[in-house]
Amino acid sequence: MVSRMMKVRTAIHAAIWSTDPKPEVLGRTLRGAASAGFDCVALPLRDPARIIPSQVAAAFQAAGLGAIGTAGVPPHSDPGSPDADARARGRDHLELAVALARDCGMTQINGILYGPLGRAAGPVSDDTIQRSADTLHHVAEIAETSGIRLCIELVNRYETALLNTVESGLTYLADAGHANLHLHLDTFHMSIEEADVPSAVLRALPRLGYFELDQSHRGRLDQGSLDLAAMSAPLVAAGYDGLVGVEAFARSRLADDHANALAIWRNHFDDADGFACNAMDMIRNIFGRRPVA
């Protein structure tokens, strides 16, 4: 029996069901998340032309769930590029994501906001990182006026050469110099890059905006090589009351280009509703959250 309760809020990635923003599909996704007991759903903003903000906002309101966005930057739109045009395209894309999130009723955007996703040809320069940080300072200022928090996700070396560890993320936040920028930690990526995950989690805590549970194979949370309870232990001990998210992927539930970018070559789970319920059970076991009567 759980002996303590915590005030964490929970979120689940829409990809567990579908990232399609059409009302009939999104409605099914939100019903599944609500039925499992989640507070929020993270919906990708990667295809702005397909998103009708009023419909998305109405769907979330009808489901009684909080809305979170996820975003990145498309190819040739690098916030840290030495090319002014590419840098402007990156800034403009992020500003569009903020506007979409605002109009969809979202309060937060997570993701690799600081540079393009994909294996880099080599290390990036300090100048590149500083240009990216300067761009994100500008975008964070705009987001703040819209009531939207930005959380930069730290991912593994095969997906970016910019920010892989908590140490690099905290340095980046200091370079950007804006209080509306926070860290998004994902246990899958941390297991690759951090020498001591619990210590890194504790170090990130003052700037932590999103903690995401994600298994080694990107499937069910109770199957895989990662000890998610041990990785979460510093947050439990500190009385963390922020957002705890869940992520997993099945290729059949993603657009091909999205799956290819994330190297999702197979279905890591079959039953979306079952996955969500199992994930909520794990969150309750780790963070001491009892079901609401």
Which positions are catalytic? 153, 247
- Chain centroid to Cα 259, Å, comes to 16
List the Cα angle 146/70/149 in 5-degree steps. 35
**Chain centroid offset of residue 182 CA:** 11
- The strand pairing partners of 44, in sequence order, are 70
Residue type, 286: I
What is d(CA 264, CA 275) in angstroms, rounded to the nearest whole number? 17
Identity of the amino acid at 87: R
Which tokens go with 195? Answer: 């020498």
β-sheet bridge partners, residue 109: 69, 150
Distance separating alpha carbons of residues 120 and 11, to the nearest angstrom: 30
Handedness of CA 257, 262, 264, 267 (dihedral sign): negative
What sign does the CA torsion over 179, 61, 186, 236 have? positive
Question: CA 257, CA 16: separation in Å to the nearest integer?
Answer: 17
DSSP state of 254: S
**What gap in Å lies between CA 280 and CA 74, rounded to an integer?**
32
Q: Is the torsion defined by CA of 205, 72, 269, 67 positive or negative?
A: positive
